Structure 1
Amino acid sequence: MNERIRILRKELKLSQEEFGKRVGVSNTAISKLEKGERSLTEQMILSICREFRVNYFWLTEGHGDIFTGTPQTVVDELAEDYNLDDIDKKVIEKYLALDTEKRAVIKEYLKSIFT
């Protein structure tokens, strides 16, 4: 993974400092990661994948393309961020398509279930 961090950073044309700022660490931390002097935490891996739209399996195992596709809609982006399947996405899309009154009915029903 350490070498793939360097490959990714070079692909993005970012300095260690710029890359680090984007994921919330110092350039020293990025340097140590690239040299293999520091291991990547799961939190750092997820942060890198989210920030740069990197394929998790490429970063962790070297399989697949470096980057994931760009989401076409906000719902697609939510699906990526929260690991939603097609049914989850359809529920959100249908809910968003409802008018205010129909949403209110659904919310009242859900409140009755949760209380």
Structure 2
Amino acid sequence: MTQGERIKEVRKTLGLTLDKFGEKLGVKKAALSAIENGKRNLTEQMTISICREYKVNYDYLTYGDGEMFEDLPETILDELCIEYDLDDDDRDILNFYLGLPADARDAIKKQIKKIFVKE
């Protein structure tokens, strides 16, 4: 698999269009398409930007080695904590909740709705 093909795989895994993927990188759709299709080479700077912005494993993107993402679930949780100014207890609660089976999460949601829904 080429670097361009790996970029496309990353983008598709994230569920992003060429436009949305390029937005964070400051790159136009046409430039990304050319890289994905092997018509243009991936620069080191672009590689670093993709890895930084999307938490992609550098070795995966460059050589095809290792996992696609760098500890993505933890990274997303960390970003949420930063964005919403959550402390360690909030993080632990979220992490616990996310690890529950769907039926247990549904039961918790029902209880929370009972508390906050005023009839």
TM above 0.5: yes
**Is 1:58 paired with 2:60?**
yes
SS in 1 for 2:39: coil
CA distance in 1, matches of 2:13, 2:24: 15
The answer for the alignment partner of 2:4 in structure 1 is: 2
Matching residue's letter, 2:59 = F
Runs ≥4 residues deviating over 6 A: none
The answer for the alignment partner of 2:34 in structure 1 is: 32
TM-fit CA distance, 1:36: 0.4
CA distance in 2, matches of 1:22, 1:37: 22
Matching residue's letter, 1:54 = V
What's the C-alpha RMSD, in Å, of the aligned pairs?
1.7
The answer for the alignment partner of 1:103 in structure 2 is: none
The answer for the alignment partner of 1:22 in structure 2 is: 24
Matching residue's letter, 2:60 = W
Work out the number of aligned pairs and report it.
74
The percentage of counterpart residues that share the same residue type is 47
The answer for the alignment partner of 2:46 in structure 1 is: 44
CA distance in 2, matches of 1:7, 1:22: 17
CA distance in 1, matches of 2:49, 2:27: 11
Q: Structure 1 regions of 5+ residues with no counterpart? A: 74-115
Alignment TM-score, normalising by the size of structure 2: 0.58
